[in-house]
Amino acid sequence: MSILFYFSTAIGAFFLSFFLTWRVRKIAIKLAIVDKPDGLKKIHPKPTPLLGGVAIFLAFFLILFFVREKLITGDLAYGHWLWFFAGGIFLLIGGILDDKFNLKPRWQIVWPLLAVACVLIGDIGIKKITNPLGGLLYFSNFLSEAFTFTWLLLMMYTTKLLDGVDGLVSGLAVIGGLVIFLFTATTKYFQPDIALASLIFSGVCLGFLIWNWHPAKIFLGESGSLFLGYVLGVLAIISGGKIAIALLVLGLPLLDLFWTIIRRLAAKKNPFSSSDRLHLHHRLLDIGLGQKKTVLIFYAFSLFFGLMALFLQSKGKFLAISILVLIMIFLLAGFTFLEKRKKHIL
């Protein structure tokens, strides 16, 4: 595949996504599927259409269908892509239902579980990972399925919980897809099928981002916030288990997810059903950065560490992840200090 084919396909994905987002936005308004502000987590000034994930899903898989013959040039067969598509269908159905009827948490989890089940049935899994100390670590079938299950849920809930600022998740998805494209398009790790799918994904997310940039004209909704994490998680797997790349691209959001789970469990709350304004992006907003600056900070970290992953070996990637952990600890300590100082002043 030529460079011209890659980018002409990505440009087509961009315009198709842009058009479908416009159409889906009108449908969401007509059906009154909107997100109303509550002054806590939902900080937008007026009701905003949901269902953005529908436009992304349709644009992504329509383009994949038209270039389907280019997607089986490597180790993947049509069956892998069909099961990947089936998982996306479940996320789409569950997301639409949640956007319309605001499902309870115990019903929300059903759809991501069904999506992961499709991936496992389709024999898409993490068979091995690179050992930072050298060599490879191979998984048995059971460990492979358990690791894949955990990884995909982790990715989906990271993007789900991160979706609280205009353009944040969709922009990080653009960066994630682009980094995986660059990695799989290099000579050493050349995987033209994965490179094409990743670049299409970036193009689709960029087309949506035009509408989702602050002030957002449409939101991802449940289907979109889960679907973006799902796609990034699967792309990391089928690109040869490049988990470290996804970890670096979504490093801060993933660490924020871990901290949220620990914090809520310590408070004897359900980590996935309770809500608060203690996420990293909310804290950045609370110190007065505003939505655009907050989003750009996340973009900068994602792009910097994602591009670093292209040039680092296993030990270097492990070191970069360790640096991200230290940055997260520093940020949490800083925000804790500011909050205590504010209470002392008051």
Report which secondary-structure segment, H or E, holds 49: strand 48-49
pLDDT of residue 137: 74
The beta-carbon contacts of 326-334 under 8 Å, at least 24 apart in sequence, are 327/252, 327/301, 328/252, 328/255, 328/256, 328/259, 328/280, 331/280, 332/259
pLDDT of residue 74: 81
| Total-model pTM | 0.93
Q: What secondary structure letter does DSSP report for 129?
A: E
Distance CA 186, CA 174 (A): 19
Distance CA 164, CA 266 (A): 23
Tell me the pLDDT tens digit for each residue of 240-280: 757 888 888 998 888 888 888 888 888 777 776 666 677 88
Q: How confident is the model at residue 189 (pLDDT cuts 50, 70, 90)?
A: confident
End-to-end CA gap in the chain: 63
User: Residue 333 corresponds to which amino acid?
Assistant: A
Contact 253, 158 (CB under 8 A): yes
Tell me the pLDDT tens digit for each residue of 10-50: 999 999 999 999 999 999 999 999 998 876 666 777 899 99
Annotate 118-134 with b (16+ C-beta within 10 A) or e (fewer). Answer: bbbebebbbbebbebee
Residues 6+ apart with CB under 8 A from 274: 264
pLDDT of residue 300: 95
C-alpha dihedral sign at 125, 127, 205, 74: negative
Would you state the structure tokens that stand for residue 294, as one six-digit string?
């907050």
pLDDT of residue 41: 65
Task: Reply yes or no on whether the pLDDT at 130 is more than 80.
Answer: no
- Average pLDDT taken over every residue of the chain: 89
Residues 6+ apart with CB under 8 A from 323: none
Q: How confident is the model at residue 281 (pLDDT cuts 50, 70, 90)?
A: confident
